[in-house]
Structures are given as structure tokens and as C-alpha cells.
Chains A and B, each alone.
Chain A
Amino acid sequence: MKTRTKKIIGWSVVALIVAALIVGIILTDGLYTNSEDISEVMQDAVLHEENTVDIFGFQANPGLVSAYLVTIILLVAAALIRIFAIPKFTRVPGKFQLAVESIVGWFDKLAKTNSPHRNSFLGAYIFGAGCYIFTGTLFELIGVAVVSSAGNSVVLPAPLSDINGAIAMGFLSYFVILSGGIVSNGMRGVGRTLKDFSLPISMSFRLFGALLSGLLVSELVYYYIALSFVLPVVVGVLFTLLHALIQTYVLVMLTSLFYGEVSEPYEKKAKVKKKKAVKQ
């Protein structure tokens, strides 16, 4: 028995070595090298200067196309749930109902916890934004390919890896916070919100930087075919999933925290009368 096991192990090792050598020979062949330079690829991933998509004569970044596609996907899914699932909701929820209720309940609870005074609009906003960031980030996993104006094949990226998308999201969140401040405290709320004037920039660039870093790492990995084995499973799927969750949580949490801060009702501080020392 022992000799037989040793034989099996020995032959397996030999087979693995042979396989590794074959893979090495194939990978070092000039046929599989990319025609584009890595610096050009990464620069285009950041700036989208070359690979734009033509939509009815309008030159849009691939990120914008992704954004509208994500919106369509989300709205269709929501409409299907609204039409087919919600009317069948029962008091004792099933698995799907539980999942939907958990997502809605989580955003609602987050809004109520961070902004106890005014939260109905905030809950709706962070629900929409959260769904958008999460689905948009996972969208890059699907790998929808379009043809760019230059004739290259472009895989649609996450919408927020486009700087315009990230700026839009950051500024919209800032406007939502500002609106909460105005509705709750009027001009005082405006003052409170404007105090954090760096907020839209920090929110936008945080999102952009986080998602772009993921995109760049993916580009880097996929550029070299030698790295295309096993590693993309970790980089492409696990990192993207984690990324989606983390970015959703960060933006939603920040928005609700600042919203709660500016919408907090103003309370007049009791004036402390300075006691004048009575000279005797």
C-alpha cells in the first residue's frame, strides 16, 4: 500500500511539472502580448480620452453608458418586484421577501439612527444611492463590451469609476444634505452645511479614487496574461464584492451622518450671566 501511494504521488508531481512547463512556454510566446502599452491602457481607464462611446452623435464616456444601463436594470428589477412580488407579501415573510425587507429596513434604520429628527427623505435617498453604488460596482463583473468611437472593444466599467459620475454622486449627496439643513433650520442649516464646503469634493474623489483603484488593479491584472490564471477570481470577484459593500456603506453612512447633523433642531444655549465680583 505504501509503495503504491508513493508511486501515485511521484507521477502526480511529474505531471504537474510538465503542465507548468507547457503553460510557461505558451505564455512567453510573443503572440499573447498586448498591442497597447500598459501606461496607455491605464491612462485611458482614468481619463477616457480615447475610448468614448457614440450615443446618437453624443460622445459619452463608457461610465455614463454603464450608469444608464445600471439605472435601467435597477428600475426594471424594482418594477418586477413591485408588480409580482410585493402584492404577494405575507405577514410571515419568505426568503425573497425577507431579503427585500432587510435591505429596505437597513437603509431606513440607518437614516433613523443617524438623523432622528428628519429622515423620511434621507431614507429614500440613501436607499437609491446605496443600490446604485452597489449594483454599479458589481456591474463591471458582467463585462458588457461595446465598440468605442475609435473602433476598439471597450468593456463597460463601473459607473463611478468615471470621474463625472463620481462628481455627480458627491454633489448630489451634498445637495441632499444642504436641503435637509434648509428644511430643518433655514439659513442656519445652510450655514452649517456650507461649513463643510469640502464635503462634496471629498465625497466625490473618495468614491472616484476607490473605484478607480479597483479598475486600475483589474486593468493591470488583465493586461498581463500570465496573471490571468486564478488571480482574477480573487481580484475580480472578491475584491469587487468587498469594494461594492464598502463604498456603499461609506457614502451612505457619511451622507446620513452629515444630514443628521445639519437637520438637528437648533437649541438656544442658556446665557450664563457673568457674575461681577462685588468689591466690598
Chain B
Amino acid sequence: MPLNINWQQILLHLLNLVILVVGLYLLLYKPVKKFMKKREDAYKEREESTQAALDNAKAKEEEYSSRLAGVEEEVSQKREEAAKELAEVRTQKLQQVAQEADDMLSSARERAQKEHDRIINGVSDDIKEIVGEAAEKVVMTSSVNDAYEQFLNAAESGAKSAHAGKKKTVTSMSKADKKVGARKKK
């Protein structure tokens, strides 16, 4: 063969190459590629999980911000409602207090009127009684002058006893005076 080409040696070279390629594939190329693929997958997985966590955090942030906006709105709404309610309660209370004050005032007035009436009535009865007793005495006595004098004495003694109050004892008064004093006390 020209150029010393030898088919047997070419085949031997081919065999050598096949052995080498297969050997290097099994011993080096495949395991290294497998390791690199494994590492790549691990990093990809980590990246995906990080991305998922980021997305989740973003979604939560959006959710919370929207919820926060809702809460603020709700708070302002509640505040308005509370203010409105408070105003209502205040007006009701004011009305109630005013009503109670009116009632108390009217009842106090009524009671005062009653007391006034009672006092007035009591005093007029006393006067009537005094006058009746005096008249009776006058009629019983002989003369008008005596009667008048007795009336005056009786009136004076009655007035004194009334003014002296508790200082003087009632023992010095007449029967008539005692009756007048007792009525007054009533």
C-alpha cells in the first residue's frame, strides 16, 4: 500500500479509539456530567423554592397591605359610628336629665305649694280657733270691755308664747293658750 497504509493497523487503531472513548465515557465523562447535573438541579430547585417563597411573601404583603387599608377604613367607619352613637346617647341622656330635672322641679314646686297651702291653712285654722275662743269668752263674760280686754290679753299672751318659743314654759299659759300652742306645733 502507498504511504505504508496498513489496514490491520488501521483496525487496531480503531479498536484502540473505541476502547478509549468507551472507557473515558464510563470513567470520567458520565460521572462528572451526572455530578454537574445533580448540582445544577439542586441549585435550580433552591432557586425555585426561593422564588416560590418570594412570591408567597409578595402575595402576603399585598394581602396584608390590602387588609390594612380595609382595617383603616373599618376603623374610621367604626369611629364614625361610635361618634354617632355617642352623640345619640349624649342627647338621650341630656333629654333624660332635663326630663328628670323638670320632674324634680315640678315635684318640688308641687310639694312646696302643698306645704305652703298646708301652712297657710294651718295658720288660718289657728286664727279662726283663737278668734272663736275669744268670741266665746267675750260672750261668756259680762261686759264688752272685759271681753275686749280679755281678748287682747289672750291675744297678747298667745303672741308672747309664740315668740318666746322654747325658752318659756307652757305651764304659765291658760288652757286656751295651751290649745293654740299645741295646734301650732301640729
Contacts of B12 in A (CB 8 A): 60, 64, 164
Shortest B16–chain A CB gap in Å is: 5
Contact between chains at A78 and B27 (CB < 8 Å): yes
Contact between chains at A108 and B28 (CB < 8 Å): no
Known contacts: A48-B4, A131-B24, A163-B5. The answer to whether A168 contacts B14 by CB under 8 A is yes
Closest to A61 in B: B9
Contact between chains at B16 and A172 (CB < 8 Å): no
The answer for the CA separation of A129 and B19 in the assembled complex, in Å, is 11
Closest to A81 in B: B28
Per-residue B-contact encoding for A118-148, CB less than 8 Å = 1, 0 else = 0000011101110110000000000000000
The answer for the CA separation of A75 and B25 in the assembled complex, in Å, is 10
Chain A interface, >50% SS class: helix
Closest to B42 in A: A91
Contact between chains at A105 and B36 (CB < 8 Å): yes
Chain B interface, >50% SS class: helix
Contact between chains at B35 and A60 (CB < 8 Å): no
Shortest A44–chain B CB gap in Å is: 10
Shortest A86–chain B CB gap in Å is: 5
The answer for the CA separation of A128 and B22 in the assembled complex, in Å, is 8
Q: Which of B3-41 contact A (CB under 8 A)?
A: 3-6, 9-14, 16-25, 27-33, 35-36, 39
A246 within 8 A of B: no
Known contacts: A47-B4, A128-B20, A132-B20. The answer to whether A164 contacts B31 by CB under 8 A is no
A225 within 8 A of B: no
Contact between chains at A47 and B35 (CB < 8 Å): no
Query: How many residues of chain B have a CB within 8 Å of chain A?
Result: 31
CB contact between B23 and one of A48, A75, A159 (< 8 Å): that residue: A75
Contact between chains at B16 and A164 (CB < 8 Å): no
Contact between chains at A104 and B24 (CB < 8 Å): no
Contact between chains at A89 and B13 (CB < 8 Å): no
Shortest A149–chain B CB gap in Å is: 14
Contacts of B4 in A (CB 8 A): 47-49, 61, 163-164
The answer for the CA separation of A168 and B17 in the assembled complex, in Å, is 8
A219 within 8 A of B: no
A71 within 8 A of B: yes
Contacts of A165 in B (CB 8 A): 13
Contact between chains at B20 and A124 (CB < 8 Å): no
A167 within 8 A of B: yes
Q: List 15 A-B contacts (CB under 8 A).
A: A46-B3, A74-B20, A75-B24, A75-B27, A82-B27, A91-B42, A104-B33, A124-B24, A124-B30, A128-B17, A163-B4, A167-B5, A169-B17, A171-B14, A172-B17
Binding site for B on A (CB under 8 A): 46-49, 60-61, 64, 67-68, 71, 74-75, 78-79, 81-82, 86, 89, 91, 100-101, 104-105, 107-108, 123-125, 127-129, 131-132, 159, 162-165, 167-169, 171-172
- Taking A61-B4, A61-B9, A128-B22 as known contacts, 18 extra A-B pairs with beta carbons closer than 8 A to each other, sorted by chain A number, are A60-B9, A60-B12, A67-B13, A86-B35, A123-B33, A124-B21, A124-B24, A127-B24, A128-B17, A128-B24, A129-B17, A162-B9, A163-B3, A167-B13, A168-B17, A169-B17, A171-B10, A172-B17
The 4 closest A-B pairs by CB, nearest first: A128-B21, A168-B13, A78-B27, A164-B9
